[in-house]
């Protein structure tokens, strides 16, 4: 009993001292609780008092010159939209190297706070402030099945530009600065988090009871950064289609782009693109028992469909009804695994097949006019090769060979990759991890994420289910697809992290307008939704999660 009384006294004294150090009265720093929430008194004045607040460099776990709040204003409640009153804070984490871009951030502090916070991940090359006002994990998909935005639920939320903004500079050019590249590799996750949590604590007088990270693609990569490198800071992470190995993806994109445009006759025009896609669906759509426009059993599809079946008899490709030998080679290259000339970080030796013969759209690989400069992959691989690998603004993709840059590629892989299965610090804290991947993702191929999860499973064995779930959604591509997944993953994560209630039989909803509200069981890898043989094919209850 004495120990408990002493602990309570120390806590009260700490809160009082914190308040005085921050220039706030103890009463203001400890708002009244209401139904399990913290309700800020006089929020307009309290919010305004944050303007100009500085966060000491010592409060941020990586080198900076501290952080500063540029503006803080109270945003009124929007009852029609369900948006509560909140304090909108904008500011910057000042780079340690004055030549590097600062990290611009936004923090949203609801007047009625649930005691938790959500950090949002970025996208692409970052460079644009993530407001933290969207739905988790940062989707534009606002289907009700996705759940309300975290700010609407009472979470304090925040995001940043990742410290890679270069004004009107070319995409990727930030990488010529070492600190900006380090931020892109994942250090911005820590710098943003530490500055934001300091400000959240100043506003409410207490730290969040739970800290979550949510993101997709680059943001999914950053979610795994949070779990692997800064696991002691987070209670939960949601990572959708995480871009876990930048160099592996870029090397493979370049290989496919070269196959399509660098060889005579390798390009497939729109008619032949449709020929391939239609043939794949004719062969594979019904392998899960339901002809529903989704290829769920992709492993059986690999065995059932051969691109050679579309080869013209003479190999010349004179008809829209068949492919030339060169076009067949392009599709084989694009849909087969690739082994690297040397291992990347954490012993990664290759990358699995891309899903172009599993139902994925060919538009990222092939444009509509045969213009190599218009191919979707080019906009992503060119900046990486030019600025990250070659480190030359005047660099070129012409005759690029990653093997000539072995040391640089290895170094970049070591910086950027989130393929380390060791998340011990995260699990010791009690952290929970949810990973979601789609079968038709042509940027982050499912097999790459599968391989990472298998490495985790090899490390942790059956105990992995105490802290991780990995779901694979058929028909989902990179944030969209024939099945546009909507699922309230934040509620699932929060229930798991706060009540130890792990997700059980989650249901995925399709947000596409033409097929809106059809549902499927969201199956854990390596299972897939298989039709039971009777009932409405648009209802999840008529499917079961099956394996091979």
Residue positions annotated with a catalytic role: 217, 441, 478
How many residues are present in the chain? 548
Distance of CA 359 to the CA centre of its chain: 22
319's enclosing H/E stretch is: none
Q: Six-digit token pair at 6?
A: 């002493």
- Beta-carbon contacts of 251 under 8 Å, excluding residues fewer than 6 positions away, are 338, 340, 351, 402, 409
Cβ neighbors of 525 (< 8 A, separation 6 or more) are 437, 450, 453, 470, 471, 472
Give the Cβ contact number of residue 230 at 10 Å.
Answer: 20
The kind and range of the H/E element at 236 are: strand 236-240
Q: Could you tell me if 231 and 423 are in contact, meaning their C-beta atoms sit under 8 angstroms apart? A: yes
For the record, the structure tokens of 237 come out as 């992470």
In whole angstroms, give the CA distance from residue 409 to residue 400: 13
Q: What is the DSSP string of 362-401?
A: STTT--SS--GGG-TTHHHHHHIIIIIIS--TT---TT--
Give the list of residues 6+ apart from residue 332 with CB closer than 8 angstroms, or none.
307
- Report how far apart, in Å, the C-alpha atoms of 282 and of each of 104, 277, 480 are: 49, 9, 22
Are 199 and 89 contacting, i.e. CB atoms less than 8 angstroms apart?
Answer: yes
Q: List the one residue out of 472, 479, 468 whose CA is nearest residue 520.
A: 472
Handedness of CA 87, 106, 433, 531 (dihedral sign): positive
Give how far Cα 320 sits from Cα of 260, 384, 428, Å: 17, 36, 58
Contact present, 70 and 129 (Cβ < 8 Å): no
- Please state, in angstroms and rounded to a whole number, the distance separating the CA atoms of residues 150 and 281: 38
Q: How far apart are CA 262 and CA 327, in angstroms?
A: 12
Tokens of 18: 């914190």
Residues 323/331, Cβ–Cβ less than 8 Å: yes
Report yes or no: 222 and 417 within 8 Å, Cβ to Cβ: no
Both structure tokens of 502? 């792990």
405 closest CA partner among 386, 419, 418 = 386
Cβ–Cβ under 8 Å, residues 28 and 41: yes
* Residues in CB range of 541: below 8 A, 6 or more apart: 535
């Amino acid at each position: 009993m004495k120990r408990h009384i002493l602990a309570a006294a120390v806590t009260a004294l700490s809160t009082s001292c914190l308040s005085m150090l921050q220039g706030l009265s103890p009463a203001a720093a400890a708002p009244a609780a209401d139904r399990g929430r913290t309700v800020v008194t006089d929020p307009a004045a309290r919010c305004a008092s944050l303007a100009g607040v500085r966060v000491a460099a010592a409060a941020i776990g990586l080198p900076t010159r501290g952080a500063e709040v540029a503006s803080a204003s109270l945003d009124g409640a929007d009852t029609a939209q369900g948006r509560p009153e909140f304090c909108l804070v904008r500011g910057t984490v000042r780079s340690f190297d004055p030549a590097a871009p600062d990290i611009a951030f936004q923090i949203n502090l609801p007047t009625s706070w649930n005691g938790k916070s959500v950090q949002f991940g970025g996208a692409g090359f970052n460079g644009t402030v993530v407001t933290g006002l969207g739905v988790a994990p940062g989707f534009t998909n606002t289907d009700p099945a996705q759940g309300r935005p975290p700010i609407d639920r009472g979470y304090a939320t925040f995001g940043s530009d990742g410290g890679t903004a270069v004004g009107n500079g070319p995409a990727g050019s930030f990488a010529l600065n070492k600190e900006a590249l380090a931020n892109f590799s994942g250090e911005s996750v820590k710098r943003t988090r530490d500055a934001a949590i300091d400000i959240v604590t100043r506003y409410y007088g207490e730290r969040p009871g739970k800290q979550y990270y949510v993101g997709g693609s680059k943001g999914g990569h950053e979610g795994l950064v949070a779990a692997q490198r800064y696991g002691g800071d987070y209670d939960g992470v949601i990572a959708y289609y995480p871009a876990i190995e930048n160099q592996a993806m870029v090397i493979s994109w370049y290989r496919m782009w070269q196959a399509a445009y660098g060889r005579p006759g390798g390009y497939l025009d729109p008619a032949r693109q449709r020929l391939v896609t239609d043939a794949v669906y004719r062969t594979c759509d019904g392998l899960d028992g339901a002809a529903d426009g989704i290829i769920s059993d992709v492993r059986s599809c690999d065995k059932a469909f051969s691109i050679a079946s579309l080869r013209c008899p003479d190999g010349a490709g004179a008809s829209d009804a068949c492919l030339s030998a060169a076009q067949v080679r392009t599709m084989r290259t694009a849909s087969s695994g690739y082994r690297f000339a040397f291992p990347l970080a954490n012993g990664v030796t290759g990358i699995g097949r891309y899903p172009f013969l599993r139902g994925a759209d060919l538009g990222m690989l092939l444009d509509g006019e045969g213009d190599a400069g218009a191919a979707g992959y080019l906009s992503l691989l060119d900046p990486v090769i030019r600025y990250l690998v070659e480190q030359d603004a005047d660099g070129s993709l012409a005759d690029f060979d990653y093997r000539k840059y072995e040391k640089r590629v290895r170094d970049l892989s070591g910086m950027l990759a989130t393929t380390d299965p060791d998340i011990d610090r995260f699990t010791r804290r009690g952290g929970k991890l949810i990973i979601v991947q789609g079968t038709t993702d042509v940027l982050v191929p499912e097999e790459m994420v599968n391989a990472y999860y298998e490495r985790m499973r090899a490390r942790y064995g059956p105990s992995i289910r105490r802290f991780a779930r990995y779901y694979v959604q058929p028909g989902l591509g990179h944030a969209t697809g024939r099945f546009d997944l909507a699922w309230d993953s934040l509620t699932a994560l929060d229930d798991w992290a706060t009540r130890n209630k792990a997700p059980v039989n989650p249901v995925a909803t399709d947000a596409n307008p033409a097929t809106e509200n059809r549902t499927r069981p969201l199956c854990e890898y390596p299972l897939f939704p298989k039709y039971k043989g009777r009932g409405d094919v648009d209802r999840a209850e008529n499917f079961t999660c099956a394996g091979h």
